[in-house]
């Protein structure tokens, strides 16, 4: 018996030693993780305008009453959301092309492709006057019978529609919307675009009224009868007199209702904010901590969607510098906020965009001047203007060089790329269009490339 005991004792001691080591290691890991979570929570509390990290929890779009910045003239209803989604994706609303071969071939979603971050999927969005889709909208080219000046080509990369419910005044310039940052700017409400602000609506409602005209869409008898939209307008606007029910205004109200529901509330970081500390990795937590502290990202990106209704000059390049169509060095859209206010102090200042689902973006900044998030971070680390019209002294005082190590940069990119990524955005996309047209584009080449017959 004594011999048997002496043989097993070393094994038992070894087992106990390993067990203690594992427990100590696990406890150390738990302490480290807990310390990191506590440090991140403290940083978020400090950065939050309310003093609490739950400020960054996004609204649940199924609870429409919780969606911020709704227009009191346009209370959200399920019928409006449905109609707005139909209009947004349907090329059947593309009724006013310059040339007939582009008729009913383009939609709002041509330049806001869901799988491309609700962006064009290429450097420049082109609706009327172009053909093709390729991979996520990357292949779209000018039709041969269109002059460049006839193209509905955007001189700045459009902003994503994701989390637009956190935006009060739309466009990079903040031009649309009668309140908030545009309060007291009535003298600038002139011209084909800004005059709509006299209606007193919020940014989304104002932009969509003018946007449907600008992007050559119409709610006409064909749309209402042939494509079957009349019944949906009737459901969405039963209290509007019939002779006022089918037009740009009601279509805009429906679009505004739908767009406010496109929220990235299923991203891992949202779960983390709600208490699931395992929702994001330690590296992503390190990146978040950098975001809210050393990297100073939060000083500009500080709405719940990490957007902001402020305008800053970063000195990024304009789209004409990269071969953009129907734009030039003299394009007033290059002026950012200055396009609207006319004040030199506002020249080259652009609105702060939201930061969710950047993984799907193909380009960044108003001029599509960067192709990867790594390029964006490198640009912000250096904080040097790349635009010949924007001198260094014009840059925002918040745009200053940042000292990040390679590991810190990787952690920040991991947080932005993965922790802020909602993989279920297809929930906002219809299975088919009301007109039966392929979407987002309905031209012959796009249909072939998308496998849509």
- Do 96 and 53 reside in the same domain of the chain? no
β-bridge mates for residue 336, sequence order? 349
Return the ∠ at Cα 177 (arms to 175 and 183), rounded to 5°.
90
Residue with tokens 């394009």: 331
pLDDT at 31: 39
- Whether 12 is in a domain gets the answer no
- Whether 6 is in a domain gets the answer no
- Do 157 and 108 reside in the same domain of the chain? yes
pLDDT at 163: 99
pLDDT at 289: 99
pLDDT at 13: 54
Q: And the tokens for 436?
A: 């039966």
Total of domains in the chain: 2
DSSP letter (8 states) at residue 157: P
- Whether 78 is in a domain gets the answer yes
Q: Which helix (H) or strand (E) holds 130?
A: strand 130-131
- DSSP string of 288-330, one letter each residue: HHHHTTTT-GGGTS-STTS-EEEEE---PPPGGGGT-TT--TT
- Do 106 and 218 reside in the same domain of the chain? yes
β-bridge mates for residue 364, sequence order? 370
Q: What is the pLDDT of residues 16-42, one digit of tens each?
A: 555 544 544 444 344 345 799 999 999
- Do 194 and 102 reside in the same domain of the chain? yes
- Do 331 and 378 reside in the same domain of the chain? yes
Return the ∠ at Cα 431 (arms to 429 and 436), rounded to 5°.
115
Closest CA to 270 of 25, 24, 27, 56: 56
pTM of the model: 0.92
Contact between residue 156 and residue 317 where contact means Cβ atoms under 8 Å apart: no
- Do 295 and 412 reside in the same domain of the chain? yes
- Whether 8 is in a domain gets the answer no
- Do 192 and 132 reside in the same domain of the chain? yes
pLDDT at 350: 99
Using left for φ > 0, alpha for ψ between -120 and 50, and beta otherwise, residue 368 falls in left
In Å, how far are 169, 339, 347, 349 from 313, measured between CA atoms? 18, 13, 8, 4
β-bridge mates for residue 350, sequence order? 312
* Structural domain harbouring 390: 40-61+266-419
- Do 295 and 399 reside in the same domain of the chain? yes
Low-confidence residues in the chain, pLDDT < 70: 1-33
Which CATH number is 305's domain given?
1.10.760.10
- Do 56 and 81 reside in the same domain of the chain? no
Residue with tokens 């089918």: 246
β-bridge mates for residue 142, sequence order? 130
Cα 16 from chain centroid (whole Å):
54
- Do 257 and 109 reside in the same domain of the chain? yes
- Do 378 and 405 reside in the same domain of the chain? yes
- Do 99 and 55 reside in the same domain of the chain? no
């Amino acid at each position: 018996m004594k011999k048997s005991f002496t043989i097993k004792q070393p094994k038992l001691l070894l087992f106990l030693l390993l067990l203690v080591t594992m427990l100590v290691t696990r406890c150390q890991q738990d302490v480290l993780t807990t310390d990191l979570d506590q440090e991140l929570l403290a940083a978020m509390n400090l950065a939050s305008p309310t003093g609490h990290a739950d400020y960054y929890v996004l609204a649940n779009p199924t609870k429409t009453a919780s969606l911020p910045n709704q227009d009191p003239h346009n209370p959200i209803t399920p019928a409006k959301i449905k109609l707005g989604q139909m209009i947004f994706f349907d090329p059947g609303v593309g009724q006013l092309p310059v040339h007939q071969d582009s008729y009913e071939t383009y939609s709002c979603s041509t330049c806001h492709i869901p799988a491309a971050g609700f962006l064009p999927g290429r450097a420049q969005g082109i609706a009327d006057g172009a053909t093709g889709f390729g991979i996520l909208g990357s292949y779209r080219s000018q039709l041969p019978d269109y002059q460049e000046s006839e193209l509905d080509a955007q001189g700045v990369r459009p902003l994503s529609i994701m989390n637009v419910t956190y935006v009060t005044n739309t466009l990079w310039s903040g031009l649309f919307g009668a309140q908030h940052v545009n309060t007291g700017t009535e003298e600038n409400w002139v011209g084909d675009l800004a005059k709509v602000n006299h209606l007193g609506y919020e940014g989304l409602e104002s932009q969509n009224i003018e946007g449907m005209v600008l992007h050559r869409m119409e709610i006409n008898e064909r749309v209402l009868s042939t494509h079957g939209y009349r019944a949906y307008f009737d459901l969405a606007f039963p209290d509007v007199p019939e002779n006022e029910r089918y037009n740009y205004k009601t279509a805009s109200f429906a679009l505004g209702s739908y767009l406010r529901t496109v929220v990235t509330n299923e991203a891992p970081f949202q779960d983390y904010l709600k208490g699931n500390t395992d929702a994001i990795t330690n590296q992503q937590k390190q990146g978040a901590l950098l975001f809210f502290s050393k990297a100073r990202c939060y000083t500009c990106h500080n709405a719940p969607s990490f957007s902001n209704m402020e305008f800053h000059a970063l000195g990024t390049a304009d789209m004409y510098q990269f071969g953009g169509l129907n734009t030039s060095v003299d394009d007033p859209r290059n002026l950012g906020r200055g396009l609207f206010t006319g004040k030199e102090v506002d020249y080259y200042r652009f609105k702060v965009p939201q930061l969710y689902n950047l993984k799907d973006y193909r380009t960044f900044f108003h001029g599509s001047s960067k192709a990867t998030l790594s390029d964006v971070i490198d640009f912000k680390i250096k904080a040097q203007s790349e635009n010949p019209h924007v001198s260094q002294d014009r840059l925002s005082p918040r745009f200053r060089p940042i000292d990040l190590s390679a590991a810190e940069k990787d952690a920040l990119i991991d947080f932005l790329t993965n922790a802020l990524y909602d993989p279920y955005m297809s929930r906002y996309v219809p299975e088919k269009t009301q007109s039966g047209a392929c979407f987002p584009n309905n031209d012959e080449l796009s249909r072939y490339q998308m496998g849509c017959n």
